[in-house]
A and B are shown apart, each in its own frame.
Chain A
Amino acid sequence: DGGITQSPKYLFRKEGQNVTLSCEQNLNHDAMYWYRQDPGQGLRLIYYSQIVNDFQKGDIAEGYSVSREKKESFPLTVTSAQKNPTAFYLCASSLAANTGELFFGEGSRLTVL
């Protein structure tokens, strides 16, 4: 089945540690996105990528990093510089940036202890 897969679903980390969240899609989509969601809030854009080997900062990129070495993969690293990393992280993809339907993964819930 075509879709978008995020892993892990739940992740715990200690303060000061970097952690990488995986996002893979087999929809042959060019554009991929990372969002952060805090309790009771909407989704805020962290980074997005329109095409392989290209990505741009979203509204809240500080403390995060991404790479887009393959079309199907867009991993997000939450670095120790991110002051409040505990959140629900959502990855999405679309055929092209800002056009077409967005397909979301099931999310990764990160808790910093």
Chain B
Amino acid sequence: DAKTTQPNSMESNEEEPVHLPCNHSTISGTDYIHWYRQLPSQGPEYVIHGLTSNVNNRMASLAIAEDRKSSTLILHRATLRDAAVYYCILRSPLSSGSARQLTFGSGTQLTVLP
């Protein structure tokens, strides 16, 4: 199964942009890149996802490399409420009737400094 690699931790100053990287060098053509974030003692929440083109929503932007082997989650103006663990995962449609198993790595702990 395709896996992702993220830095363990990153820091950002409040109201500055944050770029969270993710490497997925073994990504397949049908894998969608998903990002989730998890606040302490809560379940993860969806942030954004994409396949090939860059994506924007109210929470963040997702920049996907042309070869799709890496992607970057962009928070345009970090706030203290953005401090969380960010997970980058790959999700792929069913293949031959069996679903890919879905595991989250350790993610990136984002600290936002006031």
A contact set with B: CB distance below 8 Å: 31, 33, 35, 40-45, 48, 50, 56, 58-59, 88, 90, 92, 96-107, 109
Give the residues in chain A near B92, CB-CB below 8 Å: 98-99
**Chain A neighbourhood of B99, CB < 8 A:** 31, 48, 50, 56, 97-98
| Residue contact A43 to B93, C-beta cutoff 8 Å | no
User: For the complex, would chain A's binding face be called helix, strand, loop or mixed by DSSP majority?
Assistant: strand
In angstroms, Cα B38 to Cα A40, docked, is 12
A99 to B91, CA, bound (A): 6
**Cβ-neighbour of B42 out of A33, A99, A107 (below 8 A):** A107
Interface size on B, residues (CB 8 A): 25
Closest CB in chain B relative to A51 CB, distance in Å: 10
How far in angstroms is the closest Cβ of chain A from B98? 8
B44 contacts chain A at the CB level, 8 A cutoff: yes
Nearest 10 pairs between A and B by C-beta?
Answer: A104-B43, A97-B99, A43-B104, A42-B104, A101-B46, A42-B106, A98-B99, A42-B105, A104-B44, A90-B43
Between A and B, how many residue pairs show CB distances below 8 Å? Answer: 69
Interface of B, secondary structure class, is loop
* Nearest opposing residue in chain A for B105, CB measure: A42
Question: What separation, in Å, do the CA atoms of A104 and B41 have in the docked complex?
Answer: 12
Nearest-neighbour CB distance to chain A for B86, whole angstroms, equals: 11
| Nearest residue, chain B, Cβ from A104 | B43
Chain A residues whose CB sits within 8 angstroms of the CB of B94 once the complex forms: 50, 96-99
Q: Which of B77-95 contact A (CB under 8 A)?
A: 87, 91-94
